[in-house]
Structure 1
Amino acid sequence: MPSASTGASTTVGAVPALPRTPSAPTAREAAADSRVAPGGPGYRRMSLALFLAGVATFALLYSTQALLPLISTGFGGTASAASWTVSAATGALALFVLPMSALSERFGRRAVMTGSLAVAVTVGLLIPFAPSLGALVVLRAVQGAALAGVPASATAYLAEEVRPKALVTAIGLFVAGNSVGGMSGRIVTGWVAQEWGWRVALGVLGLIAVGCAVAFRLLLPAPRHFVAGSLRPAVLVRTVRSHLGDPLLRRLYAIGALFMTVFGAVYTVIGYRLTDAPFSLPQGVIGSVFLVYLVGTVSASTAGRLVGRLGRRGALYLAGGTTTAGLLVSLSGSLPLVLIGLVLITAGFFAGHAVASSAVSHTAKEGRAQASALYQSAYYVGSSAGSTLGAIAFHAGGWPGTVSMGLLAVLGVVAITVVGSRAARVQRRLATV
């Protein structure tokens, strides 16, 4: 079976280590043994807390996505103009995730996540009162910037507090929270908006996010392995330069961005497609379509087992193939087949995202928050690009235009993974010389 590595875990020219006789554990092994393991004290509280943080983050971040047709009508704007209520939030998150990661290195992961959620939910309660589309876009940008502290800190927190062998599973649960947040937010806003309008829908979602944020803070255990770092710009620049100089990390960042480009495009445009003929679905039913996010919850939470069976590269190939199949099936004019296509796209995306993000945390030995922040930055740049380009492609060529753009992005994922596979083979040959 292929190695679980994605292609850079072997040091070029390294001599294979001799078997070590049983002795006192190394400092790294001792630290790993003291971390939380599945079934251990605090693991369930930690998992539930970060699951709820993921729910609040994705529910708020994409709160306007299912409401875009109503927002367009309410403000008299086009689909492209309304899509900026999504792109502004994800774009601001992409810009602020790295500074937030630096703050988490100095002040702690839990403190930054708590502050980020507090600001984001406060803005969420103001958003329903936006007087214009421009004001709504500005408020969404502020909200996205605030939310940057959660993804910037969550995976680093898990990498420090959870045993390495359980890391993929733990991060998969956090990603599963993202999928539940995205699903529940869209379903709630869809049905509430159908009865009382999009402003009331966003207000209700804001209150739900407040509850998630409070529960998160009460449940999350205090960190036991966090060591404060430096806020000096030179240190941050050196760490970022080191991560960007790692070929494996660069590939993982690109994979995350491309997967999210597909996902952002599909779910930004799908509301318009289902509103138009031949489907002509009401807003509440369109919101319920996002129940397919449950598939993402399952695929993300089982990513660890998938990697165990196929290796990381094999899991990425499978995720890319599943997403491609979903895009092609969604071209059908049959509503059941469109829904099956969405299921496949969602399953492939969340599996690929969980595998790539956990590989970043596993690969980075130092400056994990910055490594994760760079991944999240690339990921949300992909989301912002997908939302905007998907709307433009839909305006120019309808749903086939959006699908064509998505297929190009998946082709990029496959090409990058092939490059990683070849690099791994070269390293293995050099290591035996």
Structure 2
Amino acid sequence: MDYIEAGTKKYWKASSALFAGGFITFAILYSTQPLLPVFSQRFHVSPEYSSLALSSTTGVLSFALLIAAVVSDRFGRKNIMTCSLVLSSAAAIGTAFSPNFLSLLVLRTMQGVVLAGMPSIAMAYVSEEFHERSLGAAMGLYVSGTTVGGMFGRIVVGMVSDFFSWRAALICVGLISFLFSLWFWAGLPEPEHFKIKNGSFSGIFQPFARHLKTLRLVCLFGIGFLLMGGFVTLFNYMGFLLMRPPFNLTQTEVGWMFAVYVFGTFSSTWMGKLADTKGKGLVLLIGMSIMMIGVLCTLVPSLMIKIIGVALYVFGFFGSHSIASGWVGSIALHDRAQAASLYLFFYYAGSSILGTFGGVLWQYSRWPGVVTMIVLCIFLAFGLETLLLRSGNHSR
């Protein structure tokens, strides 16, 4: 049984299917982010409370990922991922019919459960089925799908909600995601290196415990927590900043701000390939440095400089994420689904916890407070990478 290598027909089928899966996951997951100012106004809730429309999903998702990894070991990678995408698309349509904010939060929480069947299992699939020489590029293409999905979902939601309503916007995202889930099901090759595991219940959590005792993996988990927490915080409250004076942007204009995600689409693939040749440690350091420069640029009063800063931040973030997530698969030689789900547990926990805490900083110190938190997160991530590299020669 050969591994999937770049340049083959099988590689492009698998990569395009994983691209579609990443597209759906982020389009649905972050579809409510540009609507936070709308929810705050329509449902008469504070900015930090409205952020729960996103944080409730990512918070539940982080825990559900751990269960999804175990379930996929017993029922197969492709089966669980396909079911996850179809059910997520249906749930996205259901949220559009929420009569009040509480019911919206309940439905978004349920959405977090069904979305869990894709991210960690996709990382495990890439680690198991792709040749090591093609691993960085394949992970980069998957992350590119998440960037395009995140960008597309936010722009569509912003435009449709401006011209019609937020309900119509969520229905639109759900229908498009369903079509992409069919593409995923038809295109993804069946796993050839996966073996069903039927261990005892008591042994379910042993792989998680082993991974949490591995210092290098814990460092990567922490990096994911900090970088994703800062990333979500920036986009959660950027809309509140730009829709206020002196900018006074419309919902559509704020939605188009997410077009900067195209820079993440490029960086995740390019930096993933670069890490395969120049070393993961060096490229991750460069990616996080670009993030730092970008977020500091958003403090400049000029709208154009702010957008350039956000573009730089997105470029650095998605490049860094593709490297860190691929690095997990390189270190965890066994029980990779569990390792990937732990990385994403911390990744989405950061989104939920820091994304909501950023709302408190916004309330009391506005944008400078938000930027201060993000800068601190990046500095801590630098420290964790230093510890990771010093624990052994694993920069390549």
- Give TM-score scaled by structure 2 length: 0.97
| 2:346 counterpart residue number | 378
Shift of 1:309: 4.8
Counterpart for residue 328 of structure 2: 360
Tell me if the contact between 1:194 and 1:284 (Cα under 8 Å) persists in the aligned partners. Answer: yes
The runs of 5 or more residues in structure 1 that have no matched partner are 1-30, 429-433
Q: Indicate the larger mover: 326-335 or 233-242.
A: 233-242
1:197 Cα deviation from its structure 2 partner:
1.5
The amino acid that maps onto 1:73 is: Q
Please state if 1:192 is matched with 2:160: yes
1:293-332 alignment to 2 at 5 Å? 293-332=261-300
Contact 1:53 1:177 in 2 (8 A): yes
Cα distance in 2 for partners of 1:204, 1:45 equals 26
Are 1:156 and 2:147 counterparts?
Answer: no
Letter of the 2:111 counterpart: Q
Give the match for residue 285 of structure 1. 253
Unaligned runs of 5+ in 2: none
Question: 1:248 aligned to 193, 202, 216, which one?
Answer: 216
Deviations 1:111-131 (A, max 9, x none): 010111122111111111101
The reply on whether 1:115 has 2:100 as its aligned counterpart is: no
CA-CA distance at 1:370 after TM superposition? 0.3
The answer on 1:138 being equivalent to 2:138 is: no
Structure 1 residue 83 and structure 2 residue 65: aligned?
no
2:304 aligned partner: 336
Distance in 2, matches of 1:214 and 1:304, equals 27
Q: Which residue of 2 aligns with 1:388?
A: 356
- Work out which of the residue numbers 74, 88, 101 in structure 2 matches 1:106: 74
Q: Once the two structures are superposed, what CA deviation does each residue of 1:208-237 show, in whole Å capped at 9, x if it has no partner?
A: 111111111111111111111125332222
SS in 2 for 1:302: helix
Q: Is the 8 A contact 2:37 2:240 kept in 1?
A: yes
- Structure-1 residue corresponding to 2:140: 172
Aligned residue number for residue 37 of structure 1:
5
What SS class does the counterpart of residue 278 from structure 1 fall into?
A: coil
**1:335 counterpart letter in structure 2:** L
Structure 1, 53-62 or 71-80: larger mean CA deviation: 71-80
Is the CA contact 1:67–1:198 (under 8 Å) kept in the aligned structure 2? Answer: yes
Work out whether residues 71 and 198 of structure 1, in 8 Å CA contact, stay in contact via their aligned partners in 2: no
Rounded Cα–Cα distance in structure 1 between residues aligned with 2:288 and 2:198: 38
Between the aligned partners of 1:194 and 1:338, the Cα distance in structure 2 is 23
Q: Counterpart amino acid of 1:235?
A: G
Q: How far apart in 2 are the matches of 1:41 and 1:117? A: 24
For this pair of structures, how many residues does the alignment match? 395
1:316-368 deviation per Cα after TM superposition (whole angstroms, max 9, x unaligned): 21111111101110101101100011011101110111001000011111101
RMSD: 1.4
Change beyond 3 A, Cα 1:184–1:231: farther
CA positional deviation for 1:424:
2.5
Q: Distance in 2 between matches of 1:100 and 1:86?
A: 20
For residues 87 and 56 of structure 1, what CA distance do their matches in structure 2 show? 18
Alpha-carbon distance between aligned partners in 2 of 1:233 and 1:374, rounded to the nearest angstrom: 19
| Greater CA drift, 34-43 or 55-64 | 34-43
Q: Secondary structure in 1 aligned to 2:7?
A: coil
Alignment partners' CA distance in 1, 2:138 and 2:372: 34
User: 2:272, 2:319 within 8 Å by CA — same for their partners in 1?
Assistant: no
Counterpart of 1:206 (choices 147, 159, 174) is 174
Report the AA paired with residue 353 of structure 1: H
Per-residue deviation at 1:80? 1.0
Structure 1 residue aligned with 2:382? 414
Give, in whole Å, the separation in 1 of the partners of 2:117 and 2:270: 25
Map of 2:314 onto structure 1:
346
1:279-307 Cα distance to aligned partner (Å, 9 max, x none): 10011111001000000001101123321
- Which residue number in structure 2 is paired with residue 260 of structure 1? 228
Deviations 1:85-141 (A, max 9, x none): 000010011010010000111111100101111221111111111011111011001
What is the CA–CA distance in structure 2 between the aligned matches of 1:269 and 1:212, rounded to whole Å?
A: 29
Give CA deviations for 1:240-292 in whole Å, capped at 9, x if unaligned: 11111111111111111111011010011111111011110011111001000
Q: Distance in 1 between matches of 2:120 and 2:259?
A: 27
The match for 2:15 is: 47
Contact conserved, 1:264 with 1:390, CA < 8 A, in 2? no
For residues 406 and 151 of structure 1, what CA distance do their matches in structure 2 show?
A: 24
Letter in 2 for 1:298: F
CA distance in 2, matches of 1:392, 1:316: 30
Note if 1:401 corresponds to 2:373. no
Distance change >3 Å, CA 231–CA 396, structure 1 → 2: farther
- The answer to whether the 8 A contact 1:102-1:231 is kept is no
Tell me: CA distance 1:231–1:210, structure 2 relative to 1, closer, same or farther (3 Å). farther
Displacement of 1:390 = 1.7
Check conservation: 1:186, 1:290, Cα contact below 8 A.
yes
